[in-house]
Structure 1
Amino acid sequence: MAGSKLWSSQTRSDLGRNRSIWSALHLDPILLGLLLLLVGGGLFVLYSGADRNIDVVKAQGIRLGVAFVVMFVFAQLDPAVFRRWAPWLYGLGLIGLVAVLLVGVGAKGAQRWLALPGLPRFQPSEFMKLVVPMMAAWYLSRYYLPPTFPRVMTGLVIVLLPMFLIIQQPDLGTSLLVGMAGIFVVFFAGISWKLIAAFLAMVSVSAPLMWFFVMREYQKQRVLTLLDPQSDPLGAGWNIIQSKTAIGSGGMEGKGWLQGTQSHLEFLPESHTDFIVAVLAEEFGFIGMLLLLTVYFLIILRCLYISVTAQDSFSRLVAGALTMTFFIYIFVNIGMVSGLLPVVGVPLPLISYGGTSSVTLMAAFGVLMSIHTHRRMITA
């Protein structure tokens, strides 16, 4: 008995000694360090992309500061909290999306924002990038995995309903990100390859119908511009042509910081937002792009490790989906700036100027840190 008490006391002492400051703060130092490195480099490039406008850099710095605070708050919450609140947040998000269509604030031909008294205007669709994968994971993790066909269909309905509402705003880029975040949950739940093949076949068959009955004229124009940007070089094809010119002119080592011609001579539009990667490629060349992609790769690798080591199905599904959504951000932005994908207005994560997407992404990293640091210690 005395030995047992001595062992128990020693074990508690060891556990207390092994609990680092990072564990107490519920932060992952590796992921945090990589994010700080990415954000610091992003502000460096933004100064050039904004044509040396320090006010833009300061504004982005404040937004990123808020985003890190949001990440810290989310990291303190136990994953059980996200699971418990997922259905309620999903319902609230759907109400917000419907409210946008009815009484939303419009800008540049789109109606995507809500302006509530006493609050800054916001996009409920950004909120759904987090909530949709949580809701899909909440539903599927309640049953044995892999899910049966009816449950897969129900999971897809959970994903497609907010996606349909966001398309009506219209906001194709955000709807794709929300849809992919939810679909990744369904995929990671362990559906069969037959169902995956059937889904891909359904998408292929429905593509012509989407072209004629769903897609708007400006969306069709983006696809046509992707296929032949030279058909309207001074109009719809201008962005892609100038972006590819900037990327190609950077060469191996680039022209040097603040020495880019396409952005500083105002040939490249949106040089501090969606097309900021073209500024980076022109001024820092292939080497600069390689360093950026290396940091992104290490962040994704760390997030995948967190998802693999999660201790319950809900946490694994959510962590995997949020990680792959971050990857889709990178893939779509660099693809559209390089002329490989249509321009859909997806920012380069934590590099492009903008507050809403940065806060959403950092909230997602907060969820990942929560999953990693709230793991229950298993002892023999």
Structure 2
Amino acid sequence: MSNFVPAPIAQLPWKTILLLLVMASFGFIVLYSAAGGSMTPWAGLHMLRFMVFLMMAIIMSYFKETFWKTMAFPVYGIVLIMLLGVELMGAVGGGSQRWLNLGFMRLQPSELMKVAIILAVARFYDLLPPSQIRTWGAIWPLLVLLAFPAALILLQPDLGTTITVVAGALTIAFLAGLPLRLFVGGGVAIAILAPLAYFFALEEYQQRRVTTFLNPENDPLGAGYHISQSKIAIGSGGLFGKGFLNGTQSHLDYLPEGHTDFVFATMAEEWGLFGGILVLSGFFLLFRWGLGVATRAKTRFSQLTAAGLTTTIFFYVAINLMMVMGLAPVVGIPLPFLSHGGSSMMTIMICVGILMSIDRHPGRRGAFG
């Protein structure tokens, strides 16, 4: 085949591309069923977006590491300005102000910040001399990089995205070599400050989400409705599900947001435990590939960026699955490749594109390698 296929195309990670295509196609099937057996309004657009963003990711794979290094801080600044724009003139939906209306689409800059913060923090620790990694100079710039986007995203308000942005940045800081005691101390401080944050930092509806997560049965028809119906949908699927197009929770509108945040519950009702294992297996293979890219990378920046982007996708999956199963508060995190949503899919495919770029151009091992 190498005699017929150009080398740049043959060198693409086709196994990973095929995996993504299979997962997005399964998402198409789930969304098709969620709409009662219709391509509209979700399934057709879902697949169209995926194909467009897949082409974008493939194009991104041709960029070398020097491009991402050069763009790390400018991209962070641009996305930060976009977050400021959301506060000034952002579109409101569902009681939250999170989008910029571009005419042809509504863009959610907070989703892009998940990638921008990874690039910026990885670039910072790439520039930092190893001798300073355990000094104050390795900590305060990280806090500055995190403080502004975290505050702006909390104002929208969007607690789930804030958690993902902070977690991605802290993951890179940990991998860069910051002392473990800092993270342990930070965890203790969060535990102490959590009650204050609950009463003074969270909106009323966010407080209800926390109390509902702890005991959803207290208000099964009110604040606990989402989690209760999600558990019913997942449990009623059994081992092999009720069958394609035979779900009742989503088709009879008992399950809210069955095409976005709770798409896993929609899937599990019709495909059962078998479908859930298939989805988890797909994500496992994706994570294994991403961590493999980080392992094969030759430079500090590539290693940190690849690991950070992989863990960012992991946080999407972990938080969403914990949410739909009642193991975490409902925070509005979509499930990659299955949930309907343009901004989240674009973010995931940007992560994939940069990972493919690092895999194609691992760089040369240097002093930090």
Aligning the two structures, in what range does the TM-score lie when normalised by the shorter sequence? over 0.9
Query: 1:149: how far off?
Result: 3.2
- For 1:183, the equivalent position in structure 2 comes to 170
Query: 1:26: how far off?
Result: 5.8
Structure 1 residues 147 and 270: alpha-carbon distance in aligned structure 2, compared to 1, 3 A threshold: same
State how 1:281-300 maps to structure 2 within 5 Å.
281-300=268-287
Aligned counterpart for 1:209 among listed residues 196, 221, 239: 196
Structure 1 residues 185 and 26: alpha-carbon distance in aligned structure 2, compared to 1, 3 A threshold: farther
Q: Distance in 2 between matches of 1:19 and 1:54?
A: 37
RMSD between aligned alpha carbons? 2.0
Aligned counterpart for 1:353 among listed residues 328, 337, 340: 340
- For 1:80, the equivalent position in structure 2 comes to 66
Stretches of structure 2 that go unaligned for 5 or more consecutive residues are none
- For 1:64, the equivalent position in structure 2 comes to 50
Q: Distance in 2 between matches of 1:119 and 1:261?
A: 34
Structure 1 residues 157 and 376: alpha-carbon distance in aligned structure 2, compared to 1, 3 A threshold: closer
- For 2:326, the equivalent position in structure 1 comes to 339
Query: 1:250: how far off?
Result: 1.1
Indicate the SS of the match to 1:76: coil
1:270 and 2:257 matched: yes
Tell me the amino acid that sits aligned with residue 346 of structure 1: I
Q: Distance in 2 between matches of 1:101 and 1:42?
A: 32
Aligned counterpart for 2:180 among listed residues 185, 188, 193: 193
Cα distance per residue 1:248-294 (max 9 Å; x no partner): 11111211111112112221111111111112111111111111111
Tell me the amino acid that sits aligned with residue 307 of structure 1: A
Q: Distance in 2 between matches of 1:269 and 1:141?
A: 44
Cα distance per residue 1:302-357 (max 9 Å; x no partner): 11000111111111111101101111111111111001110011011110111111
State how 1:28-177 maps to structure 2 within 5 Å.
28-55=13-40, 56-116=42-102, 120-145=105-130, 147-150=133-136, 151-177=138-164
Cα distance per residue 1:120-155 (max 9 Å; x no partner): 431221221111110001111112347123212321
- Tell me the number of residue pairs that the alignment of Structure 1 and Structure 2 aligns: 361
Q: Distance in 2 between matches of 1:18 and 1:324?
A: 37
Query: 1:25: how far off?
Result: 6.6
Indicate the SS of the match to 1:113: strand
Q: Distance in 2 between matches of 1:54 and 1:352?
A: 15
Tell me the amino acid that sits aligned with residue 93 of structure 1: V
- For 1:320, the equivalent position in structure 2 comes to 307
Q: Distance in 1 between matches of 2:302 and 2:364?
A: 16
Structure 1, 145-154 or 310-319: larger mean CA deviation: 145-154
Stretches of structure 1 that go unaligned for 5 or more consecutive residues are 1-16
Indicate the SS of the match to 1:262: coil
Tell me the amino acid that sits aligned with residue 53 of structure 2: A
Q: Percent identity?
A: 40
Query: 1:157: how far off?
Result: 2.5
Larger Rg: 1
Aligned counterpart for 1:27 among listed residues 3, 12, 17: 12
Provide TM-score, normalisation by structure 2: 0.93
